[in-house]
Each structure stands twice: as C-alpha cells, then as structure tokens.
Amino acid sequence: MILKPGVALSIPDTSSKGRSLTRIYLRDKIQKIILMGGLIFLLLLLLCISITVGSAGLTPGEVGMTFISSLLGSQTNSYSTAIVFGLRLHRVLFGACAGFGLAICGAVMQGILRNPLASPFTLGISSAAAFGASIAIVCGVGIGIWNEGFIVTNAFVFTLLATMGIYLMAKRRGMTAETMVLAGILIMYLFSAMTSFLQFFASAEHNQEIVFWTFGSLSRTTWEKTVAIFTILVFSVPYLLWKSWDINALAEGDEIAKGLGVAADRTRALCMGVISIITAGIICFTGTIGFIGLVAPHIARMLIGADMRYLIPISGLIGAALLTGADILSRSILQDQIIPVGIMTAFIGIPFFGYLFMRVRREYW
C-alpha cells in the first residue's frame, strides 16, 4: 500500500492534538480551495476584459449584445460577430488554455526533477520546437495554411524528439532527476546551436520569420487549434492530477518515493511524456512562450506550498491568468498593432513574481 501524504491526518483522532491537526489541515484545505475559487474568478474577469479589448472599436456593450444575440439565435451584426467569434474568442480561450498547460508542465517538471529551474523552456523542449519551426521556415515550400502546417508539424515532431532524446540519455545513465536535467540542458544547447546554424545561412526574410516565431504569439489561433489544445488538456490534466501523489513522493527524493512504493523511473518517464505532448501541442501553434512554465509554478508554490494536488491546478490557473493578462496588454499598448505575447508575459509576470519573492517569508522550495 502506498502511504499518501495527508491521509494519516484525516484519520479521526480522539486526542486533542489530533483534533488540532485535523483543524489545521481542514483550514489549510479550505484556504487553498478559496484561493482556487479566487483565481477562477480572476481568470473569468480577465477573460471578460480580454474579449472586450481590441482594435475594432467595439464597446463592451456591443460585445455583450453580440453574445446575447448569438445565444438567442437572433439576427447578428456580421461585423461584430466576425470580430467577437471569428477573431477574439478563440484567441482568448486559446491563450487561457496555453497558459494553463505551460504552467502545469512547469509545475510537474519541477516536481519530478526536483529542480526549481526546470521548465519546458530551460530543458530544451522549446529549443527543439524552435529548430523544427526554423527548418520549416527556411526549407519550407508552399504557402499560407500549408506552410503553416509544415511549421506546426515540424515544431511538434521535434518537441517529441527532444523528449525522446532526454529520455534515452537518462535511461542509459539512470533515470534520476540529475541525469534528466543534464540531458535536457544538452538538448537545449544542441538545438539552439542548430537553429543558429540555420539562421546563419537563412535569408533576411527567413531570419525575421524565425525571430518572430521565437517571440511567441497568439496571432494565429483558430477555433480548430483551440479545440486541439483543449482536447489535449482534457486528457492529460486528469492523468497528472491522478499522479500528483506519486509526484509528491518523487519531490522528496527517489529513495523515499521508492520506499513509498512509487515506481520512480516509470513515473518520471510517463510524466515527461505527457508534459512534452502538452508543450508540443501548445508551442507548435504559438512559438516559444517560455516564462509562464517557469514562473507560474513558483508563484503557486509561494502561495500554497508544494503539494502537487493543489500546485498543479493553481499553477495552471495562475499561468492562464498571466497569459490572458499579457495578451490584454499586448493588444492594448500600440494602436492597431499586436505586440507578441511572449514578450509581454515577462513584463507582466516579473513584477508579480518579484513582489512575492521579496515579501513571502516561507521557505517554499
């Protein structure tokens, strides 16, 4: 039987110490649930703001009327319908899903690798995606959707290849957190160098395109892409939540995890696989948005500690809120132009992270 953290505390105890611990546990649990509720409310608020922001000049009232008209099935204005449903809504939802997905990937990665710097960005997965996209940009033929399809497919495939590379190297040297981190760093440098090599030979236009891709952007979202990433999350998040006990054990070290009956190597490999699919699914459409996966889990850990049962969803909600907030800014700063959201995530996340880092006293890592 696997001893799961927290289970012992829920066993009814007649002693006063036991009752006190139960109260503390329940209070802690309620606080986390309230925080989760607050974050959901914040995210919904940001989504509502985001849907009303844009260059089209629609007032919040007009956006609301467009929604109501569509829901009631009455005659709608084709202009506002095109703006709200054709351009904004899928972008806003995709942004929230992408932020959620990248943040939970970072949280799980930091947990299974016991490393606060682990994220899809720092361990080479994003570099591999950038290389895949660069190959498609430089060597790609075709136009419009076909060219984009080539970029997306390449980015996705190379992301999975990078994970496989990390897995194979780590498997040969022992599937520990250290070997996986080192293998990840190796992969990151390898793919970064290969991308630079391609850029050296690429034309100015292709280089510009590669640079723009690596900024990370939500400009090319569609309903199909939003459904695709939502589907990936629907299947992967429950699995990661189900594994959260095991990840908690892994975070304490392999010996403790094995002592608790957790198959450390297998769990780590499976979680890496799931993370890479989520990351690949997101960044193949957006380009590299690196900051969310690193910082959202840290912010969550500062607020609620390291229990993965809460850390995964709360990191996800913070990531979704951060990316949605960044997207609002990216569409509001310059008139009629959109700054790539990958740039804005750092601007919006760093002050918040810095504030918590300086103010929160608890030892969170």
Q: Which two tokens stand for residue 206?
A: 């292709």
φ and ψ at residue 223, rounded to 5 degrees: -65, -40
Which of 184, 167, 169 is closest to 127 using CA atoms? 184
Distance CA 171, CA 72 (A): 57
242 binds another protein (CB under 8 A): no
Q: Which two tokens stand for residue 305?
A: 């500690």
Distance in Å, CB of 226 to another protein, minimum:
13
Which among 1-9, 111-119, 206-214, 254-262 is the span making contact with another protein, rule CB under 8 A? 206-214
Distance in Å, CB of 341 to another protein, minimum:
12
- Binding to another protein (CB under 8 A) within 328-357 occurs at 331, 334-338
235 binds another protein (CB under 8 A): no
Phi-psi region of 51 (alpha: psi -120 to 50; beta: other; left: phi over 0): alpha
Distance CA 250, CA 260 (A): 10
- 12 or 144: CB nearest another protein: 144
- 200 or 242: CB nearest another protein: 200
Q: Which two tokens stand for residue 310?
A: 């809460």
The answer to whether 51 and 92 are in contact (CB under 8 A) is: yes
Distance in Å, CB of 153 to another protein, minimum:
16
- 82 or 164: CB nearest another protein: 82
204 binds another protein (CB under 8 A): yes
227 binds another protein (CB under 8 A): no
- Interface characters, 56-95, with another protein (x: CB under 8 A): xx--------------------xx--xx--xxx-------
Distance in Å, CB of 287 to another protein, minimum:
13
Q: Which two tokens stand for residue 160?
A: 């999975």
- 20 or 208: CB nearest another protein: 208
Q: What is the 3-state secondary structure (H, E, C) of 266-322?
A: HHHHHHHHHHHHHHHHHHHHHCCCCHHHHHHHHHHHHHHCCCHHHHHHHHHHHHHHH
- 3 or 145: CB nearest another protein: 145
- Interface characters, 140-179, with another protein (x: CB under 8 A): -x-xxx-xx-------------------------------
Query: Among 73, 203, 242, 359, which residue sits at the site for another protein (rule: CB under 8 A)?
Result: 203
| Coil/strand/helix, residue 222 | coil
Distance CA 230, CA 97 (A): 7
Give the amino acid at 47.
L
- 55 or 176: CB nearest another protein: 55
117 Cα distance to chain centroid: 15
Locus of tokens 């793919």: 191
Binding site for another protein (CB under 8 A): 54-57, 78-79, 82-83, 86-88, 141, 143-145, 147-148, 200-201, 203-209, 212, 219-220, 331, 334-338
